[in-house]
Structure 1
Amino acid sequence: MSVHAILMEKGCDVVTASSTDTVKDACRLLYSNHIGAIIIVDRESRIEGIFTERDVVAAIAQHGTACMDMELSEVMWRNVVSCTRATSINGLMDVMNKHRARHLPVEQEGHLVGIVSIGDAVKHHIRAIEYESNYIRSYIIG
């Protein structure tokens, strides 16, 4: 199973923002969409960064509430780890664990085409294990 299967089920919609948007704008997007991360993109949908709930906490810790008027370019994470549609679920989970990332943008030819969360990966991994378990049970029973 791959990232493609996750995107086929959940869709490819991604909440994005511009690097010139403010932290306050991003917090509103996080809250109103019930999400934990926003991908920062340029006009051609190329990934410039990611802004997560953790980044909100870090910005407040470093700059106080004045950070709310700062541009995302000042506080976003620029070293974005991404995956492709062909990335396997196990590969996805390995990358997320290695980089302690809860969200990975999905790229195709340098452009944003989706996003996957650790919850998406775990859900699909569990589903694959259940399928295998049922298959083995059916085989044993005859």
Structure 2
Amino acid sequence: MSTSVHEILSGKSSKIHSVTPDTSVYEALDLMARTDISAVLVLEGERLVGIFTERDYARKVALRGRNSKDTRIREVMTENLLTVSPSQDVDDVMAIMTENRFRHLPVVDRGRLAGIVTIGDAVKAVMEEQRQTIAQLSSYISGDIAT
């Protein structure tokens, strides 16, 4: 049985780091640096409207010579996000991230933001699944469990 997104979120801090579309890029980068994260969700009230990542900064601000204090998140955020639900599993997450070449996936539950899953979270979950499978197979082979 594959790990669910809900299980992944339950093992993480429940704190969701976010900014508004009117936040400056500089303020968003400062938040990301202080909290040691590489992306922030962009919210208007409780509505998810985008995500701002280090990749967005590099490609849409730094390489274009924009000033991070004068540029608003709305100008450079990624919109039209793909999301997953808590009931989906880590295999779905990995497939979506691999196919779309991104590392952060917001989790939405019945229209409400529930959290964010990163590629690191997904890899950790897959590694734990594999560790458990290996332990079970080792026990079976050595005769430690009944058939």
**TM-score category (smaller protein):** over 0.9
- Runs of 5+ in structure 2 lacking a partner? none
Superposition RMSD in Å = 1.1
TM-score by length of 1: 0.94
Partner of 1:115: 116
Aligned residues: 140
In the aligned structure 2, how far is the partner of 1:5 from the partner of 1:11? Answer: 12
Equivalent of 1:5 in 4, 7, 26: 7
How far is 1:61 from its partner?
0.9
More helix by share: 1
Larger-Rg structure:
2
- Runs of 5+ in structure 1 lacking a partner? none
In the aligned structure 2, how far is the partner of 1:109 from the partner of 1:47? Answer: 13
In the aligned structure 1, how far is the partner of 2:70 from the partner of 2:88? Answer: 37
Partner of 2:30, secondary structure, is helix
Partner of 2:21: 19
How far is 1:67 from its partner?
3.9
Mapping of residues 1-142 of structure 1, within 5 Å? 1-43=3-45, 45-58=46-59, 59-62=61-64, 64-142=65-143
Is the CA contact 1:46–1:111 (under 8 Å) kept in the aligned structure 2? yes
In the aligned structure 1, how far is the partner of 2:33 from the partner of 2:68? Answer: 17
Which amino acid in structure 2 is aligned with residue 129 of structure 1?
Answer: Q
Is the CA contact 1:22–1:68 (under 8 Å) kept in the aligned structure 2? yes
